[in-house]
Structure 1
Amino acid sequence: MHLDAIDLRNFYARRIGLMVRRLLRPRFRAFWPDVEGLRVFGLGYASPYLAEFRTQALCTGALAPVRLGALPWPERAASHTALVDETELPLDDEAADRILLVHMLEWSEHPHALLREIWRVLAPNGRILVAVPNRRGLWARMDSTPFGYGSPFSRSQLTRLLKDAMFQPESWHYVLHLPPFNWRLLTRWPDFWERAGDLLWPAFSGVIVVEATKQVYAGALAREPARRMRRRVIPVPAGAVTPRLTREQKDRLFAEEILRR
């Protein structure tokens, strides 16, 4: 089960959602302090956090999966939002320098295929920033916030998934240490409670944030064996007489055709 874009918009309009945005945005920005001239995309429901990069990046875009739905972003300008298939992103190879995944990986039905598609569109020196619910945290156990839906991750599970998709985890951070309650006592001083939780129960944070880099390996071009190649049909002008060829002559011509490709 997962929420849709309307549910997420409503959550971030509430007091607890504003608190979550206030705590996560500077952490994301700290990972990528300089995006001058870079192409930055958000995948999932990342629009509450893309504004941090919009004025500096060369271009920004919010990619929303079909199952989630899309809302225009930014609200008072030309929309930079696109509704996409998570395993067939409408981007060319190596078209992105930075990709932010929020409210995405834990809801994906094909997480490995999703990450491999991200690998395809990411530049060789590109980076991804992934935010997922922490399996050990209280936020993943309560459905009063979006982090209580989908499949939460532990650090080891997330590491294995990223490495299987040819990403190398580089930096980790744990966010949302305060309880997931819409109490004024918490939402009024979130920074204080966040620091307290970071000291007292750091392993039970609500969200795990990891930055990973794309792994690129050198390799030889794989060629399909000649026996598996299809014979090409060569057109012959109408009325032309084609000589009868022996089997050996046909095989020789076919081999020459293969060598000419």
Structure 2
Amino acid sequence: MTMDVVNLREFYSSQLGVVARRLINRGIQKRWQDAQGQRVLGFGYPTPYLGLFRDRCERCIAFMPAAQGVLKWPTARATLSTLVEERALPLPDAAVDRILLVHALEMSDDPEALLREVWRILAPSGRLLAVVPNRRGVWARTDATPFGHGRPYSRSQISDLLRRTWFTPVSWSEALFVPPLQQGWLMRSAPAWERIGGATSLPLAGVHVVEATKQVVRPISAKRERIRLIPSLEPSLVPSPMQADDPDLPARPR
């Protein structure tokens, strides 16, 4: 089920949303430390995180699905966000170098079709980074945050989905070990939760942060079967016209 863009904006304006954005940004920066000279696309509701790349990359745009709605981004500059249909992204093949998916896979009605369209517009050497709710995490069990809406995934489910859509997972990390509670002391201790959770590899993180590469498979032509030419021969028991007219030849058997 897709959330409305207004509800997503309100969550990231709250204290809990600010903490969630800060912690997820750390996970994104571990995977993509530098995007200088790259063409970066965000899909879903990626605008709280695209600020990491906007000033250093070649270009940075945000696509938001039609079922969700769109907001102007950035607010004080020329608009870099637009409303799109997720199965027909308005870009040519191999148009971008990096794609960030946030609130996308879990909200999509057809995540396989979405990823195949993402594969189409991603350059052969490009990278995909997906932030996906963890099925075993506490954040996926409450409706108070966007991570509790849609379909959460386990690590094996994300891996299978990516491989079915021609991507290869290359690195994993987790974020949001802190419980999703609006309490000041808990929000202040969020960095400590992240350090402890990351160091002990606890399986209760709120989101997976998975990086994948695009598989480019070279087509292998099938071997053509050699065709053998067999001459067309007349049956031996059928006399030719010359044999039928020659009285010295034996008569045709009956």
Q: Normalised by the shorter chain, which TM-score bucket?
A: 0.7 to 0.9
In the other structure, the counterpart of 1:177 is 177
Counterpart in the other structure of 2:251: none
Q: What are the superposed Cα offsets for residues 73-106 of structure 1, whole Å, 9 maximum, x if unpaired? A: 0010001001000010001100010000000100
CA contact (8 A) 1:127 1:212 kept: yes
Displacement after TM superposition at 1:2 (Å): 3.0
- The answer for the alignment partner of 1:122 in structure 2 is 122
Equivalent in the alignment of 1:233: none
Specify the code of the residue in structure 1 equivalent to 2:213. T
Report the Cα distance in structure 1 between the residues aligned to 2:201 and 2:138, rounded to whole angstroms: 11
* Percentage of matched positions with identical amino acids: 49
TM-score, with structure 1 as normaliser: 0.82
Which residue in the other structure is 1:195 paired with?
Answer: 195
3-state DSSP class of the match of 1:179?
A: coil
Structure 1, unmatched stretches of 5+, are: 223-261
- Pairing 1:21-40 to 2, within 5 Å after superposition: 21-40=21-40
Instruction: Provide the rounded CA distance (Å) in 2 between the counterparts of 1:88 and 1:221.
Output: 29
2:141 pairs with 1:141? yes
Q: Distance in 2 between matches of 1:200 and 1:129?
A: 23
| Residue of structure 1 in register with 2:74 after alignment | 74
Note the aligned Cα RMSD (angstroms): 1.3
**Letter of the aligned partner of 1:153 in structure 2?**
Y
Letter in 2 for 1:36: Q
Q: Distance between the aligned counterparts of 1:51 and 1:187, measured in 2? A: 22
With normalisation by structure 2, the TM-score equals 0.85
Say whether the 8 Å CA contact 1:186–1:193 is kept in structure 2.
Answer: no
Partner of 1:10: 10
User: What is the CA-CA distance between 1:142 and the residue it aligns to?
Assistant: 0.6
Contact 2:2 2:108 in 1 (8 A): no
SS of 1:217 mapped into structure 2: coil
Q: Does 1:89 align with 2:86?
A: no
Instruction: Name the counterpart of 1:166.
Output: 166
Contact kept? 1:167, 1:215, Cα under 8 Å: yes
Q: Give the match for residue 249 of structure 1.
A: none
Q: Name the SS for the 2:61 alignment partner.
A: strand
Q: Any stretches of 5+ residues in structure 2 without a counterpart? A: 223-254
Q: Which piece of structure 1 moves more, 188-197 or 207-216? A: 188-197
Letter in 1 for 2:63: L
- In structure 2, what is the equivalent of residue 225 of structure 1? none
Task: Tell me if structure 1 keeps the 8 A contact 2:39–2:59.
Answer: yes
| 1:81-133: CA deviation from partner (whole Å, max 9, x where unpaired) | 01000010001100010000000100100100000000000000001000110
Tell me which protein shows more helix as a share of its residues.
1
Alpha-carbon contact 1:60-1:80 (below 8 Å) kept: yes
